Amino acid sequence: MGAEGGLPPRPLPGPGGWVLLDIGNTRCKIARHGPSGKEGKFPGAWRPRTLTTLPSRWPDLRQWLRQELTGRETLLVSSVVPSLGRGLSHWIEKRGGRVHFATSRSPWSFRLGLRHPETVGSDRLAALEGALTRYAAPLVVVSCGTALTFSVLDAGGVFRGGAIAPGLDLASRILHRGTAQLPEIPLRRPRSLIGRDTGESLRSGLVGGTACLIEELSRRIREELSPGRKAVKVIGTGGSASLLAPLCPGVKAWEPCLVLRGLFSLAGRIRNR
């Protein structure tokens, strides 16, 4: 997709031979270079696979990775679960491989303008990097996962911060566990915002409410970032994206593998240093 104004989108370098691992709070995604040997393409040369229920213990995640990894790979990892990351690093090194963890000190293609950059999740940084391979700054990346995060990149390529709220699934679980009578229901698009029973009301408040939060907070962030001047694109990603996308017309594009795309770009930058 083309870009207008601001920083141009950056083409994806081809890291070749690296394995990318995105460890989130709920899901784990892995991608490796395809058998064709072609570089510089995503996702054509990379085949993401997803573990939809993230194990809480490292031995369980290791069992899944044994089926995905073949030997002495070099892994580039974005992890928001430190305990799993430590186990992974030790295990890979024992197998003769290497592990690079994405952090605030990694060679991203943008600068960090945060008070405490060491506290920001590597998934947010990787998602911004992935967005920049397809879209020009300024932009806002909305990640709809366990947490609902808004990451803001200004026209000069500086990560200015953003916002964090409970994600859709997390909000549903908290509402159920924190009340005596509200059930935990399957989440789907509400038929109407005026629910006629408890289930419909929950879907309206959870799904419709999250969509309204995305729309309104994105609009206000755009106004604050660039009042009346340069257009700011909003890009969505995350596990709840398919459910929320039809309700969020202000989000211009939805990218299902934005963190992996960002890791792909980062791997090339690390290799070429």
Q: Which of 123, 154, 169, 197 is catalytic?
A: 123
Give the pair of three-digit tokens for residue 209: 């409410």
> Is residue 256 within 8 Å of 183, Cβ to Cβ?
no
Give the pair of three-digit tokens for residue 131: 């967005």
From the number of C-beta atoms within 10 Å of its C-beta (0-12, 13-18, 19+), residue 113 rates as middle
- Residue 206: CB partners within 8 Å, gap ≥ 6? 168, 171, 172, 175, 187
Annotated catalytic residue 123 = yes
- For tokens 């945060």, name the residue: 114
CA 78-83-89 angle, to 5 degrees, is: 60
Residues that are catalytic:
123
